[in-house]
Structure 1
């Protein structure tokens, strides 16, 4: 299997502040990565750096062998980097259908296929974005990213603040995406939600890799998670 993403000695942050410190990892095409860690350890900063909205102090970001670290966000998106932010960023004044068709690019992922993944969206296809629940807005945000037909999908805490029944629906959809071979990096506060269907996991602490292992290994022996996710020490944002 070929390598899709390689991050080498990456240091980045906001303004003068460095949050990510010399981070290195790789992701094979068709694989998914769980990005774990307490609040403030650099998970969102890494996602923001991959899409191109932080200050990069050093290092490389290779997508299918091309260094995209100096490209602006829109150029990275054209090369196949998809993103679902915590804020969702849907068009609230457009219908569900319009949200999907307005941004769709040619490829396997069409609005019809998104409706198959999220039947709730098809039921509400004529509803405005502002009329959707928080969970439905998250489904729409993921659907909007999918119809861009990305090579790599970045999801920043997709289940945060949602009702348990919606969380179960979203996790089922993410499992299906993983089975379909879509490369993903998923940020999540509760690792047991995503470790069962991701291939590998990285635990961040203070902007650096604290633990790197196959997801199945962490599930079988969660002592590393306990060590890095239940500690009370504070880390800078």
Structure 2
């Protein structure tokens, strides 16, 4: 299968502080990756580096044959990176429909398909972003990334702090996109048992470095490795406190 993303010797952080330590990573087209690790191990920093929001100290990032290492964030988005950060970054002063149409690009993921994926958004398409619940805002953030029709989708803890019923709904939608429809994705998630079943590969970070890489299914079947690197504190269905 053709290669989509190659990360070589990547060191990055904030200012002079290096958080990500020499990451090497390859992701093929149509494949998805679970990016795991305890809090503070560099997962978000790695995603932020891929989209150009950190200081790169060394290494390079190649997306679909194009070296994007020195490109600003907006050019990386144009090159094919769709990003859903923890902060969601929706336009709260625009309606749901305006949020989607303002960023939509030609491709298979249309605004109509986004509404089909998230019926709650279709029902609230005239509502302003700040009138949505936290779960609906997260759905809108994912839908906005999809209508960009990216080559690579980056999801930073998309299930964090959401009510269990919203977690189930959003997880089904993410599974459809990355498992059933084959969109390439890197997904950061605190609860690995939620995300490993819908991804092909898994990477575990510790202190900014890769300490484990392999098949998601194999990692899921190895509770000793999960416990060793992730110190699981939650049961598979347990949700954290809802975000505001």
TM-score, with structure 1 as normaliser = 0.96
For residues 175 and 106 of structure 1, what CA distance do their matches in structure 2 show? Answer: 23
For residues 155 and 196 of structure 2, what CA distance do their matches in structure 1 show? Answer: 14
Alignment correspondent of 2:206: 205
- Give CA deviations for 1:49-79 in whole Å, capped at 9, x if unaligned: 0000111110010111211101110110001
Q: Structure 1 residue 222: deviation in Å?
A: 2.2
Q: What's the secondary structure of 1:154's corresponding residue?
A: strand
Residue-pair matches, total: 232
5+ residue gaps, structure 1: 233-237
1:21 aligns with 2:21: yes
Alignment correspondent of 1:121: 121
For residues 102 and 63 of structure 2, what CA distance do their matches in structure 1 show? Answer: 26
Q: What's the secondary structure of 1:196's corresponding residue?
A: helix
5+ residue gaps, structure 2: 234-244
1:219 aligns with 2:214: no
Alignment correspondent of 2:192: 191
- Give CA deviations for 1:17-60 in whole Å, capped at 9, x if unaligned: 00000110100000000000000000000000000011111001
For residues 219 and 231 of structure 1, what CA distance do their matches in structure 2 show? Answer: 12
Alignment correspondent of 1:235: none
**Does the C-alpha gap of structure 1 residues 72 and 161 become closer, same or farther in structure 2, counting only changes over 3 Å?**
same
For residues 30 and 76 of structure 1, what CA distance do their matches in structure 2 show? Answer: 19
Asked if the contact 2:220–2:226 (Cα under 8 Å) also holds between the matched residues in 1, the reply is no
1:61 aligns with 2:61: yes
Dislocated runs of 4+, deviation >2 Å: none
Q: Structure 1 residue 219: deviation in Å?
A: 1.0
Asked if the contact 2:205–2:212 (Cα under 8 Å) also holds between the matched residues in 1, the reply is yes
| Alignment map for 1:65-80 (pairs within 5 Å) | 65-80=65-80
Alignment correspondent of 1:167: 167
